[in-house]
Structure 1
Amino acid sequence: MAVKKTICLLFAAITLLFPFTVFASEGTAGEEEISASVEAAEVSANASLSIDATAAILVDSTTGRVLYEKNADSPRAIASITKVMTLILVMEALEKNAISLDDKVTASEHAYSMGGSQIWLEPGEVMTVDELLKAVCVASANDAAVALAEFVSGSEDEFVAEMNRKAAELGMVNTTFKNSNGLDEEGHMSTARDVSLMSREILKHELVRNYITIWIDELRGGETQLTNTNKMLRSYNGITGIKTGTTSKAGVCVTASAVRDNMELIAVVLGSSDSKSRFAAATAMLNYGFSNYELAEIKIDGTLFTPVRVKCGETQSCEYAVDMPSHFVVDKGQADKLSYEVVIEPTLEAPVTAGQTVGAVKVFCDGSEMGSYDVTASCDIRKIDFGIGWSLLFDALTNM
C-alpha cells in the first residue's frame, strides 16, 4: 500500500503543474491510424467480411436480428466490456430512484485496491454517482466500477450476484460474472452473442447515452482528465457507443453501436490482435450492415384486434395488446416484402389473467419468419361462480 501511496503522491505533484489524462490499459491507436483503418474497412454490398477477431457478431439493436457472426457462442474473457452489465444495474437503480446522480459515494479500500485502468481513487475519497459514471464510461476505471457496485448493492459480491441474475433474465446462457469490472478472473466468461444481448439492453436506457458518447471530460476540478477509450467516437459516422476492453486473457475487444437512417446496429469484437484491428473489425461489420440492410416499417391493421369473447366470465370480452417493434431490419430492396400474420384465440374461458398469452403476431420478409410476438390479455376477468352470479344479478336489477 505504501508503494501505491507513493505513486499517487507523485501523480498528485505532477498534476499541480500539468493536468493528466487517464487512459484505460488498452491499445491506444492514434486517430490517424484509426481513420486509416476505417477507410480500409469500407465494405461494399457484395463483399465478404474478414474479421481480425477470435469471435464477433453484428446485430440489429431493436430486434436482435443477427446480420453476421463468427464463433459467437464461444465462451471467453471479455475484459472491461463486463462494465456494460455494471452500467445496466446502475441505470436500473437510478430509474427506480434507489440512487441519484448527485448521491455521494465514498471509496472503499476494496475499490482502491483495483489495478488496471483507474482514476486512482483514495480510500475515503468522495465522488458523486455522476462523476463515477463518467470514470467508468470514458476512462473504463476499474476502481470507479467497484465503487458504484458497492454503493448500489452494499458489496461487490452481492452486486455480482445481481449481474448474474440479470444475465440469466436477458438470456445470456453462456455468461458468468465474477467481478464488476472485467479484470481477469477464473470463470469470468461470456460470448459475443451474450455481449450483444447486454449491449442491446444498455442502449434502452437513454441516460447512459449521455455518458458513453463523451469524448473528453474531467474530474477533481480539472486535475484528472478523461479521454474515451473508444476511438471510434472520433472516426465513425453515426457512432453511439458503447465499450472497449483489454486484458491478457480477453485480448483486445470492443462492442460498438452506430445509427444511420434511424437503423442502429451493434458490432461486437472479442479477442482482436491489437487496438487498431478491433476498431477496423467493428468498422467493417458496421459498414457491412449499413451497406446491405435497411429499416422497414410495418403497419398492423388495428381492425384485426377486436376484443376477445370470454366465456363464463364476469365480463364477456377482453381487450388485448401486443408489444412489438414498428420497424424491422431487412435486406436492402426488400422493404415491400415485409408482411405479418395475426393469430388470436377467438374465445377465452374465464378466469383470464392480465398478461396471459392469447395469440401472436408473426412477421415475415419474403416468406421467411422475422419474429413472433405474443398478444396478451390486458385485464383480469374472474370466472362466474354462484356468489358472483347473484351479485351481478342484484346489480342489474337495482339499476333497472
Structure 2
Amino acid sequence: MRVRKWIAGFLVIILLSGSFGGRACGEEAAPEELKNLYARSAVLLDADSGRVLFGKEENVPRPMASTTKIMTCILALENADEEEIVGISDDAASQPQVRLGVRKDENYYLKDLLYSLMLESHNDSAVAIAEHVAGSVEAFAEMMNRKALDLGCKDTHFVTPNGLDARDEKGVHSTTARDLAVIMKYCIRGSEKKERFLEITRTRSYTFSDVDGKRQFSCSNHNAFLDMMEGALSGKTGFTGDAGYCYVGALESEGRTFVVALLACGWPNNKGYKWSDTRKLMSYGMENYHYRTLRTGLSDTYIEVKDGIPENGRVNEKAYVEISVPEEEWQALLKDTEEIKEYSEWKESLDAPVKKGEKVGSIRYFLGDTVIKSVEVKTCKSVYERTFKWCLAQVGKCFTLFAD
C-alpha cells in the first residue's frame, strides 16, 4: 500500500495543544485560569468524543470516596428492576455515617434506595443495593471492576459500593480523574438507563417509606452544582479521610457536554474548593471549545487494475477503477488554535477482478498524533478480469469486422 502525501490545502496542519483521549494541557502548559486549581487530580472531558480537554495528574490513582456511587447506581439500574424489594442485612444496617438508618430484616423498594444513594449518599443503602443486585459486596465489586474495564478504565479498582476507604488483596479502592470522568460519561451518555440516571440525580427532594410503611424518610440533593451553573446535568460529591473532597459532574451548553472530575480537592475546612475548581473548569470548556464543521470527500481519483478489462474494451489499453469517499459533514470540538490534518492512503494498483464497493484504503483525520475520524476509500464499480478467453473473443470481433 502506497502512502499518499499529506493533502495540502484541505485542512491546516497545525496543533498547538492536546490530542483526543490524551492530555490536553500539562501543568506547565496550563492556561492561566487553570494554574491554581485546588484539586490534586482534575480533568475536563468532552462527553461526546471522550477527549481530555484539560488534565492535571489525571492518570494518577487516588481514593474517590462517594463519587463511587455513580457506578453503583448505574449497575443497579442496568441489572435489576426498581420495583424489586431489597432486604436489609446486618452488614448493610451496620454501615457508618452518612447513613439512611435502615434496620436488619426491613424491606425497601430498590428505587427508593437509589434516591437515598444518590441524593444523600447513604452508605447503608449502597451496601443493601450491592447485596441485592449481586448477592454480596464482593460480587458487586467484581461487577464494578468488570464494567470499569469495559469502559476502558484501566487504572480503577473498586472494593466497596459506597466509596469508604478500603483495600483488598488487589489494591486500594481508587480511580483516576480521567477514569471517573469516563464513568460519568457512560452514565449520562452511553448507558441504556442514562435518562433514569439523570432523572434520579437531578431530583431535588424525595420522600419514601419502607415496604411496610412503618418508617418515613426524606432525602435532599446535596449536589450544589445543579444550582451553580446553567446547563448543569448531574453530579456526585464525596469525602473520606483518605480521599479528601471529591466531585464528578456534567454540564450541557450549546450542544456541548462537559464532564469535570476532581480528586483530593482539599480537606476540612475547605469544602468549597471543589465548587471553585468545577466552575473554573466548566467555564474554561465553554469559553474555549466550540464545534467546527469539517468535510470528507474524494472523487475523480483512479487506480490501475492489473489484468482488468478496460472500460472501452480495447485489448491494448490498461484498466482503471475510480475510487471515492462520499461527501459528508462532521463536527469536532476544538479550540481556535487547534486544527485537523488529513492523511490518505490507498493501494497503488489492484489485481482483477475487482468488486464494486471494495475497500482499497482510508482517509484519516488527526488531531495531534491521534486519529479522531477515519473513512474508508472504496471502488465505485466492478472491473472484470482480462482472461485468455476474453482476449480471444476480442480478436474474433476484430476478424468479424475485417470480414464485413
Matched, 1:86 2:72: yes
Contact 2:44 2:282 (C-alpha < 8 Å) held by counterparts:
yes
- Residues 256 and 343 of structure 1: is their aligned pair in 2 closer, same or farther, counting only changes over 3 Å? farther
State how 1:130-145 maps to structure 2 within 5 Å.
130-145=111-126
- 1:189 — aligned with what? 174
Counterpart check, 1:105 vs 2:106: no
CA contact (8 A) 2:93 2:124 kept: yes
Unaligned segments of structure 1, at least 5 residues = 1-44, 94-98, 305-324, 349-356, 376-400
CA shift, 1:203, in A, is 1.3
* Structure-to-structure mapping, 1:149-188, within 5 angstroms: 149-186=130-167, 187-188=172-173
Task: Give the superposition deviation at 1:146.
Answer: 1.3
Q: Indicate yes or no: 2:258 matched with 1:265.
A: yes
Shift of 1:275: 1.9
| Correspondence for 2:372 | 371
Matched, 1:77 2:63: yes
CA displacement at 1:92 relative to structure 2: 2.3
* 1:213 has 2:202 as partner: yes
C-alpha distance in 2 between matches for 1:216 and 1:162 = 29
For residues 24-62 of structure 1, the C-alpha deviation after alignment (integer angstroms, 9 at most, x for no partner) is xxxxxxxxxxxxxxxxxxxxx974442111111111011
Question: What's 1:238 paired with?
Answer: 231
- Choose the corresponding residue for 2:272, options 250, 254, 276: 276
TM-score by length of 1: 0.67
- Secondary structure of the equivalent of 1:272? coil
- Residue identity in the other structure for 1:141: H
CA RMSD of aligned residues (A): 3.4
Query: Does structure 2 conserve the Cα–Cα contact (< 8 Å) formed by 1:241 and 1:257?
Result: yes
Q: CA shift at 1:362, angstroms?
A: 3.1
Distance (whole Å) between structure 2 residues aligned to residue 374 and residue 123 of structure 1:
58
Rounded Cα–Cα distance in structure 2 between residues aligned with 1:170 and 1:358 = 31
Q: TM-score, normalised by structure 2?
A: 0.66
For residues 103 and 358 of structure 1, the distance between their equivalents in structure 2, rounded to whole angstroms, comes to 53
Q: Is the 8 A contact 2:362 2:375 kept in 1?
A: yes
1:360 and 1:372 in contact (8 A); partners too: no
> Counterpart of 1:211 in 2: which secondary structure?
helix
Q: For the structure 1 residues 287 and 136, does the alpha-carbon distance in structure 2 shift closer, same or farther, using more than 3 Å as the test? A: same
Contact 2:344/2:362, CA 8 A, preserved across alignment: yes
- How far residue 145 of structure 1 moved from its aligned partner, in angstroms, is 1.3
Q: What secondary structure sits across from 2:140 in the alignment? A: helix
Distance 1:359 1:202, change over 3 A: farther
Whichever residue aligns with residue 115 of structure 1, its letter is P
Name the count of aligned residue pairs.
301
1:203 is aligned with what amino acid? I
Helix, strand or coil for the counterpart of 2:102?
A: coil
The secondary structure found in structure 2 opposite 1:203 is helix
Query: Unaligned 5+ residue runs, structure 2?
Result: 1-30, 301-328, 352-358, 377-404
1:228 and 2:221 correspond:
yes
Deviation at 1:364, TM superposition (A): 3.7
Q: Give the 5 Å matches for 1:1-400.
A: 47-93=33-79, 99-186=80-167, 187-204=172-189, 205-220=194-209, 223-273=216-266, 274-298=270-294, 327-332=331-336, 362-364=364-366, 369=370, 371-372=372-373
Assess if the C-alpha contact under 8 Å between 1:104 and 1:126 holds in 2.
Answer: yes
- 1:238 deviates by 0.8
| Matched-pair identity in % | 27
**Structure 2: how far apart are the matches of 1:359 and 1:106?**
58
C-alpha distance in structure 2 between counterparts of 1:149 and 1:85, whole Å: 11
Matched residues in 1 for 2:288 and 2:111: separation?
39
The whole-number CA distance in structure 2 between the counterparts of 1:173 and 1:156 is 21
CA distance in 2, matches of 1:209, 1:135: 15
C-alpha contact (below 8 Å) 1:358/1:374 kept by paired residues: no
Distance (Å, rounded) in 2 between the aligned partners of 1:161 and 1:259: 32
Indicate the larger mover: 289-298 or 150-159.
Answer: 289-298
**The residue matched to 1:88 in structure 2 has which SS?**
helix
